[in-house]
Structure formats: C-alpha cells, structure tokens
C-alpha cells in the first residue's frame, strides 16, 4: 500500500479483533488423537472427538500450559480458577451439538499489547483469551456434503482485543504483533492462509467526537494480513456511506470475499444463535496453582517488545529499527549475531534492514532461508570496515553472495575487487590522469576548484572504482596543488 | 443348549465355584440366557441379548489358567445405556435403534476384567428419563412381582432382570433415583455410589452432573462385589474421585453398634401406611442392633424436585444435541439441513424426552438462565450444605425411597408432574452427589416389596453396605426374588 488508508473526513472507525490461535500440541484438546495435518479423512478421530454416545472429554495439560504462556506473553492475568462452558448450536461439523469453550471465567483476562504501526507506538487492550476446541470441516458437493472430523477438538485459544484500533493498518499490525508473539512462544505457527491463525474483525463507525459506539459488524473469513486491511477499508467505506445516506447499520456477521474485495451478509442478529452457555459438567473447573504458573513462567522467552527495548539500549539503534528487527525471533537472532561479530551494531542494523531484508522480500523468503548466513554478512561488513573494499563494492559483493552463497572473501579474491589503498599505486594512476587531462589540470590550477570531482571520477574510472576514496582524495588534493 | 442347570443364587458363590472349576461359566451363561428367553416375553426386561459374545467369553473363562476375578464367570445384565463394543446400545430410544457402539464403557471393561460376562442389555426409560419404565421405545417393563405393576425407572429392566433371576447382578444408572426406585419396587438391592466414584465414560449421558452408574443385586455381598469391580478413578472421566482401588467387600461387617442413624420423621409420616410400617420396623431393628436414632432436619429438600428438573433437563438438552441424524442413529430426510434435524429428532425421540429437551432449552435461554438454571444451582448448593450439616449429627440417614410401592402400569403415565413427584426422596441425593442404597426390607400385604433408603456422606459407601448387611441378616427372611415363576 502506497499510503495508509484514512477514514473519511468527519468519521472515526472503531475496531476490535478476535484472533483464534491453533495451539501446536501433539494431541487434541480433549482426547488423545493426533493433531497432525494432512492425514486421511477422519483418520485422527476417536469416540470423544466424534461425539459418540457416552464419550467424555479430558483436558490436555499441554494445551493449558500453552494457553497460560500466551496469556503471560499478552500481559494477561491468568485465572487461578477458570471454567469450561458449553456453547450450544447445531451444525454437522460440531459432533456433540456444542463446542466446549470458556464463557464467564476465561483462563486469561485484562492484558495488553504494545506494537509499532506506521512508525507510531500503539497499545491495545486484551480483554480476554479463552480456550476452546475447534470444529470439524464440512465440504459441500452439490446434492450432498461430507464432514471430516480430523480438526474436531484441536485446541484453540481465542484472543479478544478491546475496541482499541482506529484504522485498518493499525488493526492488521496488531494481528501481526499477536502473530509474532505466538510464533516467538513456539505455541502456534501463525499461518493465516492455512487457518492455524484465524482473525475475525469487529468494526463500527461513528461521527468524530461522538462518544457512543456505532452498531458493530463482524467480518469473518479473512485469511491474510493484507485482507484484514482491505476488508476493513471496504467495510468502513460501506458503513460511512450508509450513515451519510441516512441508512441504519444492521448488526450482523459478514464474510469477506477477497476476489471481489467486498464483504457481504452472512447472518443478521435475528438469525444469530442463542448459544445457551452453561458450565461444562463433564470437566472440573481448571485450578492452576503457583507451581504450575512457575513452570510456565520459566518457559517464557524474551518477547518482541522486551527485545526491541533491549536492542535500543544495548545496541543504540533507533526505535524503528529495533521494532523491525524483533518482528521474528530468527531475524532478531540473526541481527544479534551480525552485530556481535562486527562490533558495529549500527552498520549491522543498516545492512540487515536495508540490503538483506530487501533481497529477502524480493525473493519472498523468510530469514531462516537466507542464502547469506549471519556469519557471512558479518564477514563482509568486517572487510568493508577494514577498508579492503569500499561500501559501494560491498553492495555488489553482497548481491553476489546472495545469489551464489559464496563468502565475501572468495568473491573479492576471484573478481579482484579488493580496494587499492597503496599510496604509490594511486599516485601512479593520478599522474596518468594528469597526463591525459592537461586542459582540466590547467583550468583547475587556474582556480576552477569545481573540477576536483572530475579528477576523482577519472581515478575511479581508471581503477574500476577500486581506489580507496579517502586515500585518493588526500593524494589528489596534494598533487593538484602542483609543484 | 446343553445343560439346564439352575443358575446359582448369588454371584459370590457362583464366582467361587467357577474359579475352582466346580461349575462352568458356559453353563452359568447358558442358564441365564435361557431364563431370559423364557421370561422376557412377559417382563420385557431385556432389549437385546449378547449370546455369541457372552458364550465366547464364557468359554475363554472356562479355559483360563489364571482364575481370579471378583465376578469370575458371573453373568451380568447391563442397562442399555452402557456402551459395549460391537453391540447395539439404544438407551431405550428409537433414535439409536440399530446403533452399534464402537467402544466399551470403562465399567464394562472393569466388569470384564473381573471375569464377569455381559449377557444382555436391559430395557430402560428412554435416555433414562422416567420413574416407571413406561417411557421406553421398546415397550414398558413389567414388575416381576406383579406384571400389572411398573418395575420403577429408569433402570426398570435391570431391576426386573435381577428380581426374576435372569442374572445375579445388573448395572443401572441413577440420575434422580433410577437405581433406587426400581430396586425398591422390585425388591432388590440397588446402590447409587457417590458422584465421581464410578466412571461415566461410555455411558449414554442424561444429566452429566447427576448421572452415576451402580449395581443391583439380590444380596448385599453381591452388591459389594459388583460395586468394588466397577468403582475407582478413571483417567477418561475427569469427574472421577482420585481413589483407585475400592474394596468394600473385605470390610463388610454387620456390626453397626454405635452408628448414629438420622431420620426425618416427616418423610416417613408422608408415605403409604404399608411402607411406613415396614420402614418403622426396620428402624426398630437397627436400634435393637445397637444403633442410635437421631432426628435431623434437611432444609431445602422440599425444593429438590424443582431444582432437579431444572438442572437435569438443562444438561439433557445439551447432552442430547448429538443425536442429530448426521453421524449415527435414525436419520429422516429433509429438504434442508434444519429439516433433516427436525425430522430426525422428531421421529427419533419420544414424548417425555422431547418435553425435557424443551424444558432444558428454555431454562438455558438467554434472559432466563439466571432465573432458572443459575437459581437452581444456588439452591442445589444449599441442599448439599444441608446434608453436610446433617452428617455432623449422624453417620447415615434412613427413610423412604418413594411414597409407596410399585403402582399400576399407565396409572400415572398421563400426568408428568405426578410422575415427577415419585422422585421426591431420591433427587436430592443426586443433587448433593451422595451415595445411597435401596435395601429390601419386606413385602407388604398386597405382595409388593418395600425398600429402605439409606444415605451416607460422600465416599462412605461402606457404611451403607454394612447397615444393609445388618438388616439382611436380622430381618425375618422373605422371598427376596420374584424368580418363583421360573
């Protein structure tokens, strides 16, 4: 997006997100079935996740641990006693006729998340994060439908933000920040396209200055960060148009269609289910003791925000760089390795942020697949700092490294790219330049200082850019004075 | 069938003879199946028999080299809401007609681990909803003592099977009195264990916070053996109590000296004269055996029927949502998904089940939840506290199981509220999660048996069994089985 979208003049959008994170446990939430993806239809099922008569749920302790860990990562209070509840509705992919979720006593509450969006620091409240099981998957074939229950009872944590976001980019960046934490914690792979992270957006608009919230609309079926932005943009425009033409916004659930880039009604409030929540009698309240919380706390790694603050302090890099470099654990680790090996964090940060990330983005590669490992980039930076090559040459060498995977030293050697820094060598070149440019020399000596750049250019041309610029400048100044 | 030996009277004796090889499991099983064949047309106590499976198991038991097991070779009848792998499990409902379970309930596995042989699935009120066993899609069960009378419900088939000697032991489930009521009406012992004592895994759920499986038998010692076989922690049921090995049998004693017995006089005053006389006599017997009687008060129990029907129907409305015609059971076609649901459930469920689903759905609806479900849960807490306070003054409570003995078939089936009032003495026990036992204490003038309701504090099944044993030994003998028709 070239420019951040702005809400039409005189209006404010209010946005809250519900993010479903699929937890990376080996077994399902309430039975021992595998969560492995891509197995044959209904291969990962048992009486419990098929809702057979008489089958009962038993809580997966790992799912609880992962959920508590996310709670801590989002600065939430983790309840000492939380309660599972049944959410009742009929659908073929819901084998029991109810989903086991949490209602009035969720595991995590009252958290917040700070992140950077469009260069500005944002803070969004996390109202709650509750555990629930996934449903199966229905596929429709014209006259009949089939259901695959492999996903039934796979553990999810639903993270509900406060209505704290005001624009589409801010909302998408919030989702990115949540994803970063989930991935840092290694409890969710955060893949929107594959549905291991799902995002529903609640959005309403109101006239600027208005205190009362407008009627909210929920948008489902958004499977990329870009679509969060696009769906919200469409929806804000739609709602503002409606308000301006005097229409009433209907409380409803809408679906986003990325092909048409629009949202359309899925069901209105009148058609909404009465879920008849009540405490799940088959499961006891989840009681968490200090020992368990200590175990979880011990597993909490340094999170993006803390890392960003540390980078700013320890490496004295700008806030923006610190936030970008801590987007993923792997990128942060990469940068730290380069910074430590070069002992020059600022240059390291520039190289990682500008050269490396640009190339990676161009190739749509993640940092883990970078053809230039951190040690190799550090090697290149060190050669540049020692003056073996110039900054300009370094960029070419880097491009070569990225393409071939060879080391900087190898490339410099093979291509003879090492910088010429020897005084005698450069003096010889300058003398040749003087011989070939008698007119310019005379003009310079008669006061035309501007021609200095011309001589630098000629030296560089003669050495194919390998002459050390500092040494060249110094010698030129001296020799142009003439004797 | 080969031998037609008469099945031994009790599981205890039978298991011991099969263990030492003096009697064959195959003969015991054949004899049991034969009795079912003879008597079931009159009683309708059994929905299906497991002939092949049972005989296979009996043969294995006869050949086994390790010959231990509390119920070694003993034929057992289980209510048709227990899942037995590879066998039909209907829960008394048309919606599960022909449904074959693909796994076995934990209690079935445990029974089998003790050498028991499941021979048949007993008739029951549909989804265990009923007090007379007239709500079964497979027809009403008759009381073996008088076929014009109900056997009680919802475990009526199990009680009738034990009373008519089809098997020495049966399993039932008790959500609001469903083991104790039929035990009382059919003159057998029935134990509803403490909530959490027996795994619910693999038992078709009615109301999850109230359901509890338990044994029925013709002697206290058999009851104890069967209870010990199935009780204990199960990692597949999160609500089971942590104690793993339960052993009441080796601790059985009829010495009840010094036991304090709580009585609510008004409860006994309210029952039918015949019942009252026998209950009073039983209490006098307990006194003569060295127990003391204390008057206690059980506040809020007068609310137990309303509270029970709120909570039980709410949970049932959710538990029965899985019977939707999608994956198993009856499916009626429909033009849309909603029609498919409506038609399947409309066709599959009987009137009492529909009534309770609607009641429960209403009680949980937004806007009504606080006034009904939540309020009921609060009163449930008060009822539980009332029992706790009472148990500071006594070791167990005795009283009536119901206001009368078995009533006539169809006498109350047209009036659901009158039928619900049958459960007046039993539902509070489930609400409080306590163990209770119905012990036969005599036959009234019209020939129908009467049971005594014994209630203990949580996890003290032992005292119930001990006191029941003392009565069994002390009371004048009476024909405890209706097997005379043989």
User: Are the C-beta atoms of B274 and B445 separated by less than 8 Å?
Assistant: yes
Q: With contact defined as beta carbons under 8 Å apart, do B420 and B181 qualify?
A: no
Which of A90, A274, A281 shows the shortest C-beta gap to B365? A274
For B365, nearest residue in chain A (alpha carbons):
A276
The CA distance from A149 to the nearest CA of chain B, in Å, is 11
Catalytic annotation on B79? yes
pLDDT in tens, B18-40: 999 999 999 999 999 999 999 99
Q: What residues in B contact A88, CB-CB < 8 Å? A: 317-318, 321, 364
Q: CA A151, CA A90: separation in Å to the nearest integer?
A: 17
Whole-number Å distance between alpha carbons of A381 and A394: 8
- On chain A, the residues whose CB falls within 8 A of the CB of B102 are 47, 52
Instruction: Return the residue of A nearest to B326 by Cα.
Output: A92
Q: Does A103 touch chain B (CB under 8 A)?
A: no
Verify whether the Cβ–Cβ distance B83 to A53 is below 8 Å. Answer: yes
pLDDT number for residue B3: 39
- Separation of alpha carbons A186 and A329, rounded Å: 10
Question: Closest to B327 (Cβ–Cβ): which among A56, A58, A95?
Answer: A95
Q: Is A369 on the interface with B (CB under 8 A)?
A: no
Give the B-side interface with A, CB within 8 Å: 81-83, 89, 91, 96, 99, 101-103, 105, 200-205, 207-209, 235-239, 314-315, 317-318, 320-324, 326-328, 337, 341, 361, 364-366, 369, 373
Residues of B in contact with A281 (CB under 8 A): 207-209, 239, 315
Of B227, B184, B209, B195, the closest CA to residue B423 belongs to B184
Q: Annotated catalytic, B366?
A: no
Q: CA of B199: which chain A residue's CA is closest? A: A56
Structure tokens at A170: 């801010």
Strand partners, A17: A201
Contact indicator for B49, B82 with CB cutoff of 8 Å = no
Inter-chain CB proximity A92 and B324 less than 8 Å: yes
Query: B332 CA to chain A: closest CA distance, Å?
Result: 15
The residue among A47, A51, A54, A284 with the most chain B CBs within 10 A of its CB, best to mutate, is A54
Residues of chain A with pLDDT under 70: 1-3, 483
Distances (CA, A) of A11 to A162, A242, A342, B276, B303: 19, 12, 50, 78, 56
Q: Which residues contact A69 (CB under 8 A, 6 or more apart)?
A: A185, A187, A296, A299, A300
* A131, A137, A153, A186, A198 from A23: Cα distances, Å: 10, 18, 11, 9, 12
C-alpha dist (Å) from residue A434 to A461, A465, B105: 14, 18, 100
Q: Which two tokens stand for residue B6?
A: 């008469």
pLDDT of residue B4: 39
Which residue among B102, B314, B321 places its CB closest to the CB of A52? B102
Active-site residue identified among B31, B132, B154, B413:
B154
Within 8 A of B362 by CB-CB distance, chain A residues are none
For B206, which residue in chain A has the nearest alpha carbon? A54
Stretch B307-329: mean pLDDT: 97
Question: Closest partner residue to A90 among B101, B324, B373, by Cβ?
Answer: B324
Residues of chain A neighbouring B91 (CB-CB closer than 8 A): 53
B320 CB neighbours in chain A (<8 A) are: 97
Contact between B102 and A276 using a beta-carbon 8 Å cutoff: no
The verdict on a CB contact (< 8 Å) between B103 and A95 is no
Alpha-carbon dihedral sign for residues B446, B452, B453, B458: negative
B32 is catalytic: no
Whether residue A284 lies within 8 A of chain B, CB to CB, comes out as yes
Q: How many CA atoms lie within 13 A of B141 on its CB side?
A: 36
Closest residue by Cα to residue A352 from A320, A325, A385: A325
For residues B84-101, average pLDDT: 97
A59 touches chain B (CB under 8 A): yes
Q: Tell me which residue has tokens 């169809």.
A: B410
Out of B87, B136, B178, B404, the active site residue is: B178
Instruction: Check if A54 contacts B (Cβ < 8 Å).
Output: yes
| B323 or A269: which leads in pLDDT | B323
- Arithmetic mean of pLDDT over chain B: 94
Q: Say whether pLDDT at B7 is over 70.
A: no
Interface check for A287 against chain B (CB to CB < 8 A): the answer is no
Tell me if chain B has a CB within 8 Å of the CB of A478: no
CA distance B443 to chain A (A): 37
Choose the closest CB to B364 out of A92, A276, A283. A276
What single-letter DSSP state applies at residue A420? B
**Nearest-CA distance from B398 to chain A in Å?**
29
Q: Residue B326 phi/psi, 5° resolution?
A: -85, -50
State the count of interchain CB pairs (< 8 A) between A and B.
103
Q: Which of B91, B236, B364 sits opposite A56 (nearest CB)?
A: B236
In this prediction, residue B419 has a pLDDT band, given cuts at 50, 70 and 90, of: confident
pLDDT per residue as tens digits for the range B260-309: 999 999 999 989 999 999 999 999 999 999 999 999 999 898 899 999 99
Please say if the pLDDT value at position B255 is more than 90: yes
Distance from CA of B408 to the nearest CA of A (A): 32
In DSSP notation, A30-63 reads SSS-B--TTPSTT-S--TTTTT-TT------HHH
Please check whether residue A144 touches B, CB under 8 A. Answer: no
Q: What is the pLDDT of residue A143?
A: 86
CB contact under 8 A, B81 and A52: no
Q: What is the mean pLDDT of residues B175-204?
A: 98
Q: What is the pLDDT of residue A389?
A: 84
Nearest to A97 among B201, B324, B366 (CB): B324
- Do the Cβ atoms of B236 and A58 come within 8 Å? yes
Evaluate if residue B8 carries a pLDDT over 70.
no
pLDDT higher than 50, residue B483? no
Distance (Å, whole) CA B134 – CA B153: 8
Q: Given an 8 Å threshold on Cβ–Cβ distance, is A51 in contact with B238?
A: no
Q: How much is the ipTM here?
A: 0.95
Output the six-digit token pair for A254: 């809408």
Q: A197 phi and psi, to 5 degrees?
A: -135, 125
Per-residue pLDDT reduced to its tens digit, B461-478 = 999 999 999 999 999 766
Query: Which of B91, B208, B341 lies at the smallest CB-CB distance from A53?
Result: B91
Partner-chain contact B341 A90, CB within 8 Å: yes
**Which of B102, B315, B321 comes nearest A281 by C-beta?**
B315
């Amino acid at each position: 997006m070239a420019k951040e979208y702005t809400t039409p003049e005189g209006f404010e959008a209010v946005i809250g997100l519900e993010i479903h994170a699929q937890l990376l446990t080996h077994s399902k939430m309430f039975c021992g079935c595998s969560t492995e993806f891509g197995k044959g239809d209904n291969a990962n099922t048992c009486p419990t996740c098929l809702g057979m008569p008489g089958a009962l749920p038993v809580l997966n302790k790992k799912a609880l641990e992962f959920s508590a860990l996310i709670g801590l990562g989002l600065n939430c209070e983790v309840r000492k006693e939380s309660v599972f509840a049944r959410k009742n509705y009929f659908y073929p992919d819901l084998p029991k006729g109810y989903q086991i979720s949490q209602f009035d006593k969720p595991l995590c509450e009252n958290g917040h998340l700070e992140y950077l969006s469009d260069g500005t620091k944002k803070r969004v409240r996390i109202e709650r994060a509750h555990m629930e099981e996934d449903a199966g998957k229905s596929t429709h074939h014209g006259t009949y439908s089939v259901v695959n229950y492999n996903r039934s009872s796979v553990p999810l944590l639903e993270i509900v933000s406060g209505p704290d976001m005001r624009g589409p980019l801010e909302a998408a960046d919030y989702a990115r920040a949540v994803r970063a934490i989930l991935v840092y914690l290694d409890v969710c792979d955060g893949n929107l396209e594959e549905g291991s992270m799902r995002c529903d957006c609640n959005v309403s608009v109101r006239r600027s200055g208005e205190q009362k919230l407008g009627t909210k609309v929920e948008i489902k079926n958004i499977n990329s960060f870009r679509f969060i932005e696009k769906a919200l943009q469409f929806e804000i425009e739609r709602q503002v148009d409606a308000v301006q033409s005097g229409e009433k916004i209907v409380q409803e659930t809408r679906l986003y269609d990325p092909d048409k880039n629009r949202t359309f009604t899925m069901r209105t409030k009148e058609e909404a289910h009465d879920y008849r929540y009540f405490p799940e009698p088959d499961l006891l309240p989840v009681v968490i003791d200090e020992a368990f919380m200590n175990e979880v706390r011990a597993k909490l790694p340094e999170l993006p925000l803390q890392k960003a603050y540390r980078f700013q302090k320890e490496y004295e890099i700008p806030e923006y760089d610190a936030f970008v470099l801590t987007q993923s654990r792997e990128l942060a680790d990469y940068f730290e390795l380069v910074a430590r090996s070069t002992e020059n964090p600022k240059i390291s940060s520039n190289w990682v942020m500008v050269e490396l990330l640009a190339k990676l983005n161009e190739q749509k590669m993640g940092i883990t697949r970078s053809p230039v490992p951190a040690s190799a980039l550090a090697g290149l930076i060190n050669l540049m700092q020692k003056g073996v090559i110039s900054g300009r040459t370094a960029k070419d060498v880097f491009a070569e490294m990225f393409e071939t995977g060879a080391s900087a030293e190898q490339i410099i050697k093979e291509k003879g790219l090492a910088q010429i820094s020897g005084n005698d060598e450069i003096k010889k070149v300058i003398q040749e330049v003087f011989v070939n440019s008698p007119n310019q020399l005379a003009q310079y000596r008669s006061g035309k200082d501007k021609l200095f750049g011309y001589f630098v250019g000629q030296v560089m041309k003669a050495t194919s850019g390998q002459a050390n610029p500092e040494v060249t400048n110094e010698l030129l100044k001296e020799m142009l004075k003439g004797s | 069938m080969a031998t037609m030996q008469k099945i031994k009277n009790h599981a205890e004796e039978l298991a011991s003879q099969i263990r030492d090889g003096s009697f064959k499991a195959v003969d015991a099983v054949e004899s049991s199946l034969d009795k079912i064949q003879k008597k079931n047309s009159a009683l309708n106590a059994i929905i299906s028999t497991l002939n092949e499976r049972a005989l296979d198991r009996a043969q294995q038991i006869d050949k086994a080299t390790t010959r231990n097991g509390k119920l070694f070779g003993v034929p057992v009848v289980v209510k048709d809401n227990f899942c037995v792998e590879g066998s039909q499990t209907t829960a008394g409902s048309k919606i599960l007609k022909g449904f074959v379970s693909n796994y076995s309930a934990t209690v079935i596995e445990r029974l089998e681990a003790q050498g028991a042989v499941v021979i048949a699935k007993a008739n029951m009120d549909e989804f265990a909803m009923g007090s007379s066993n007239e709500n079964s899609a497979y027809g009403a069960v008759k009381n073996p003592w008088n076929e014009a009378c109900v056997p009680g419900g919802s475990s009526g088939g199990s009680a009738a099977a034990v009373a008519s000697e089809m098997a020495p032991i049966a399993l039932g489930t008790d959500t609001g009195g469903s083991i104790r009521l039929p035990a009382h009406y059919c003159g057998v012992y029935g134990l509803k264990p403490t909530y959490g004592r027996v795994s619910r895994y693999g038992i078709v759920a009615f109301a999850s916070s109230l359901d509890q499986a338990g044994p029925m038998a013709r002697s206290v010692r058999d009851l104890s053996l069967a209870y010990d076989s199935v009780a204990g922690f199960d990692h597949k049921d999160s609500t089971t109590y942590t104690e793993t090995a339960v052993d009441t049998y080796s601790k059985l004693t009829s010495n009840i000296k010094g036991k304090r017995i709580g009585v609510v006089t008004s409860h006994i005053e309210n029952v039918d004269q015949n019942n009252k006389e026998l209950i009073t006599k039983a209490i006098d017997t307990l006194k003569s055996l060295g127990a003391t009687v204390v008057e206690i008060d059980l506040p809020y129990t007068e609310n137990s029927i309303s509270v029970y029907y709120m909570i039980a129907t709410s949970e049932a409305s959710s538990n029965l949502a899985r019977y939707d015609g999608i994956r198993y059971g009856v499916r009626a076609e429909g033009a849309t998904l909603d029609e498919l649901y409506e038609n399947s459930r409309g066709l599959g469920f009987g009137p009492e089940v529909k009534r309770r689903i609607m009641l429960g759905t209403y009680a949980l609806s937004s806007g009504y939840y606080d006034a009904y479900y939540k309020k009921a849960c609060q009163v449930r807490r008060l009822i539980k506290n009332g029992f706790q306070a009472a148990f500071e003054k006594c070791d167990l409570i005795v009283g009536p199981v119901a206001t009368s003995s078995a009533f006539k078939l169809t006498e109350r089936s047209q009036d659901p509220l009158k039928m619900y009032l049958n459960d007046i003495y039993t539902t509070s026990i489930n609400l409080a999660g306590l163990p209770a036992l119905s012990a036969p204490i005599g036959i009234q003038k019209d020939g129908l048996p009467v049971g005594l309701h014994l209630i203990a504090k949580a996890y003290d099944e032992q005292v119930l069994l001990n006191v029941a044993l003392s009565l069994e030994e002390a009371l004048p003998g009476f024909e405890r089985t209706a097997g005379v028709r043989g």
